[in-house]
A and B are shown apart, each in its own frame.
Chain A
Amino acid sequence: MATIKIDSLQSGMVVESDVVDHKGRVLLSAGTILDEKHQRIFRMWGIAEVKIQGAMNGETTDEKAAPSEILVNDVATQQAKELFRHCNLEHTVVQQLFQIAVQKIAEANDGGAR
């Protein structure tokens, strides 16, 4: 088992333990086999690195770094914050809506406009 930075993840790798966001919500459960879309999803949700089954320590790994670092300057998150500037993000439902919005904005930034 080793912790792999998201840029070094490859399709077919198996997630060792649940991937959680900064609030502790599970994004991907242990045992999931990664494909290309996961890397993008992790990036959107601010996940910096993931624990992978069977990976050797040393190959593109960094055991000491904290898991799930938030990438604060994520463009989509900033745009969503602007959109939600009059909302109370403490409310769990608003929070969910916010996170889906971040995901959709990141997809739109990635590909065509709506």
Chain B
Amino acid sequence: MNTAQDLLRGYVEIYSLPTTFYRINQAIGDPKISMNDLSRMISEDVGVTVRLLKLVNSAFYNFPSRIETVSRAVSIVGTQQLHDLVLSTSVVSMFKGMPPDLVNMDSFWRHGIACGVAARILAKMRHEVNIERYFIGGMLHDIGRLIMYMKRVDLSRSLLQRCQANNELLFKAERSVFGYDHTEVGFQLVKNWNLPRSLQELVLFHHSPGAAKEYPVEASVVHIADMIVHAMRYGSSGERFVPPLNDVAWEIVGLPENSLKIIIDQMEDQVQAAFQTILGENQG
């Protein structure tokens, strides 16, 4: 039992995403399903409905009047963003009841969501077509860590204590203790979930984007976004330090050297609304 794949084996609860996700996802891709059918399907899921309405009424869209109906909301956000919203809320709802001394879930998701926001801004500056894909990638990049915390409670606890005591980088220490790290576990997980290949590579190579074969840009964007979020101290997935910059990541991203300030300013404008949309009512 010493590969990332073994860690997931026989773990039924997380082996697939909630059925709502696949149902809505399938409906989005089905030309025979009308907007009305889709809206009705969404209305049946209270959690998704609440978050969808919250999203369209947030500062991100900034409409003058309140959007009250699901069908109106769906037509505003579009199907791609609807897919991402259902995915992100599904994933958040799957990981409840984690050992609180290992990980604070609120902090974990704040780290991921802020990373998603930063990745989306970076992608937009690069004039990428599908920038929401980068948001999801940023949000899920450390997801493998949750499996490690759940399945290897004691080992994870001693590992976190060791990093605390010796000021070590967690992702390097993981490898020395487990023989693999959270990027491989996360990769196996999103692969099991049948999420796109670009997302799988991004999760696997976000600490080593130069090694990505097909999607080095995706991996590099999230690599930089992760550094920014660590430096700005938005939440935490367990790592205490800004991860070191990969040699080629900044060149692959290819933005001007003075972009950071602009990215961070935009991120601060958007991040609170993103926390509220995905993490729900109890957020300040």
Contacts and interface: CB of A to CB of B under 8 A. Distances in A.
B167 A85 contact: yes
9 contacts: A83-B233, A86-B169, A86-B241, A91-B245, A96-B257, A96-B258, A97-B242, A100-B231, A100-B261
B33 interface: no
A41 to B, nearest CB: 13
Interface in B9-55: none
Interface in A31-53: none
CB-CB nearest 5 A-B residue pairs? A101-B231, A96-B260, A97-B231, A86-B241, A84-B242
B232 interface: yes
A26 interface: no
Interface residues of B, number: 21
A83 B261 CA distance: 18
A100 B233 contact: no
Interface of B: 167, 169, 227-228, 230-234, 240-245, 250, 257-258, 260-261, 264
Contacts of B258: 96
A80 B230 CA distance: 11
A86 B260 contact: no
Given A97-B231, A114-B234, A86 B243 contact: yes
Contact of A98 (B167, B231, B233, B261): B231
Contacts of B241: 83-87
A87 B260 contact: no
Contacts of A1: none
